[in-house]
Amino acid sequence: MNWDDTTDAASAEERLVGSVADREDQAVEAALRPKDLGEFIGQEKVREQLDLVLRAARARGATADHVLLSGAPGLGKTTLSMIIAAEMGAPIRITSGPAIQHAGDLAAILSSLQEGEVLFLDEIHRMSRPAEEMLYMAMEDFRVDVVVGKGPGATAIPLELPPFTLVGATTRAGLLPPPLRDRFGFTAHMEFYEPTELERVVHRSASLLDVEIDTDGAAEIAGRSRGTPRIANRLLRRVRDYAQVKADGIIDRDIAAAALKVYEVDARGLDRLDRAVLQALLKLFGGGPVGLSTLAVAVGEERETVEEVAEPFLVREGLLARTPRGRVATPAAWAHLGLTPPRSTAAGGGQQDLFGA
């Protein structure tokens, strides 16, 4: 495998429940990645469809169609791209949109691909416009025009490429311009994982890491992993440390809960920042509505941090709603922090209108 990677993922979001890979994740994830579709847990529909696409291509002796994978970080897009290469018996090249700022960067990668090679392009929506346009032709005709020289003397030299499979990954397929989206033969959307699936991920990783864990211990970690295998694996490593230092190394429910209490990851997977936002919303602003800037000042964070780091998960969990009049806590938020909502909320007045009830 050839890492052609300069992603800025490591610096993006270094928190225990962050879904972007940090340096430690990058170092250990290779050992935990499922190697074939049979080992890949969950995502039944995607697996079934991809299995058909790959089997058919193999039967025809052809290169697989281009594949677009969309979904949040940490759900297994890189892993699936490696599985596609493995199932096709092909080598894989890994790069990312931000690493390809010039069409020339892309031309260099494309022209060095081997026949049948899988090119994994992470964060494909962040590629530069000229590179994107070059990619259209490469995907469709396995050809690129390399422009040599500048101004009136510039000439386009056509370059034939070997057939290859592009696997593009993006957080949302809607971020891609339709002409690019249309050039993928198969598009799959990856969902967040169910707790039972994450339990299987935790058991599998524990056995690969030689860590002893019981069913309840795995369930405890899975429940706090925000639907994301990467987070499940990271929490497992932290709980393993705790179990080694404070107990006999074996993880059960009590050990997992005690360890994650130390790391301030609560029963629903909220961390210190998430809870600070909810607490400010409930205790200082009576559950809202309150403007984003005011809320950010109250927790001593940047607006963007609250909006992009804390809120998406709180909204997904049904704890916070973004309304035209500001941020509003849901009844579940009051319950989660063990607080009693003011009477108007409890009685279904005031705030209820904001949800359109």
Q: Do residues 7 and 98 make contact, with C-beta atoms less than 8 angstroms apart?
A: yes
If binding is defined by CB under 6 A, does position 95 make contact with ligand ADP?
A: no
If binding is defined by CB under 6 A, does position 76 make contact with ligand ADP?
A: yes
187 is known as an active-site residue? no
Nearer residue to ligand ADP within complex by CB, 66 or 77: 77
Residue 65 to residues 22, 60, 76, 130, Cα–Cα distance (Å): 31, 12, 19, 23
Count other Cβ atoms within 10 Å, centred on residue 287: 24
| Region of residue 288 (phi > 0: left; psi between -120 and 50: alpha; otherwise: beta) | left
Q: Output the six-digit token pair for 41.
A: 């847990």
Q: Which of 230, 234, 240, 275 is catalytic?
A: 230
272 is known as an active-site residue? no
Task: Report, in Å, the least distance between residue 193 CB and ligand ADP.
Answer: 7
If binding is defined by CB under 6 A, does position 120 make contact with ligand ADP?
A: no
Is-cis flag, bond preceding 130, omega within 30?
no
If binding is defined by CB under 6 A, does position 253 make contact with ligand ADP?
A: no
Known binding residue 172? Answer is no
If binding is defined by CB under 6 A, does position 227 make contact with ligand ADP?
A: no
Q: Which of 25, 122, 271, 274 is catalytic?
A: 122
Task: Report, in Å, the least distance between residue 314 CB and ligand ADP.
Answer: 21
If binding is defined by CB under 6 A, does position 97 make contact with ligand ADP?
A: no
Residue 331, helix vs strand vs coil? helix
Nearer residue to ligand ADP within complex by CB, 76 or 168: 76
Residue 211 CB partners (closer than 8 Å, separation 6+) = 236, 240, 243, 249, 251
Among residues 7, 22, 53, 77, which is the contact residue for ligand ADP, using CB under 6 A? 77
If binding is defined by CB under 6 A, does position 41 make contact with ligand ADP?
A: yes
Alpha-carbon gap, residue 210 to 237, rounded angstroms = 11
Q: Do residues 118 and 164 make contact, with C-beta atoms less than 8 angstroms apart?
A: yes
Among residues 73, 116, 217, 223, which is the contact residue for ligand ADP, using CB under 6 A? 73
Q: Which range in 40-48, 105-113, 208-216, 330-338 contacts ligand ADP by CB under 6 A?
A: 40-48
Task: Report, in Å, the least distance between residue 94 CB and ligand ADP.
Answer: 10
Q: Do residues 136 and 183 make contact, with C-beta atoms less than 8 angstroms apart?
A: yes
Buried-exposed string 12-29: b where 16+ CB fall within 10 A, e elsewhere: ebebbbbbbbbeebeebb
60 is known as an active-site residue? no
Q: Which range in 102-110, 157-165, 229-237, 291-299 contacts ligand ADP by CB under 6 A?
A: 229-237
Closest CA to 251 of 304, 192, 210: 210
96, β-bridge pairs: 122
Task: Report, in Å, the least distance between residue 237 CB and ligand ADP.
Answer: 11
Known binding residue 77? Answer is yes
Q: Which of 7, 63, 78, 170 is catalytic?
A: 78
Q: Output the six-digit token pair for 12.
A: 């993006």
HSE of 203, CA atoms in CB hemisphere, 13 A: 12
| Total number of residues that touch ligand ADP (CB under 6 A) | 19
323 is known as an active-site residue? no
Known binding residue 192? Answer is no
Among residues 7, 70, 233, 330, which is the contact residue for ligand ADP, using CB under 6 A? 233
If binding is defined by CB under 6 A, does position 203 make contact with ligand ADP?
A: no
Q: Which of 7, 22, 63, 77 is catalytic?
A: 77
Give the ranges where the chain is alpha helix by DSSP (H): 9-12, 23-32, 44-60, 77-88, 103-111, 129-141, 178-181, 195-208, 215-223, 229-246, 253-262, 272-279, 292-299, 303-304, 311-316, 331-336, 343-346, 351-354
Q: Which range in 39-47, 49-57, 283-291, 305-313 contacts ligand ADP by CB under 6 A?
A: 39-47
171 is known as an active-site residue? yes
Interface with ligand ADP by CB under 6 A: which residues? 29, 32-34, 40-43, 73-79, 201, 229-230, 233
Catalytically active residues are 77-78, 122, 171, 230
Binding residues for Mg(2+): 78
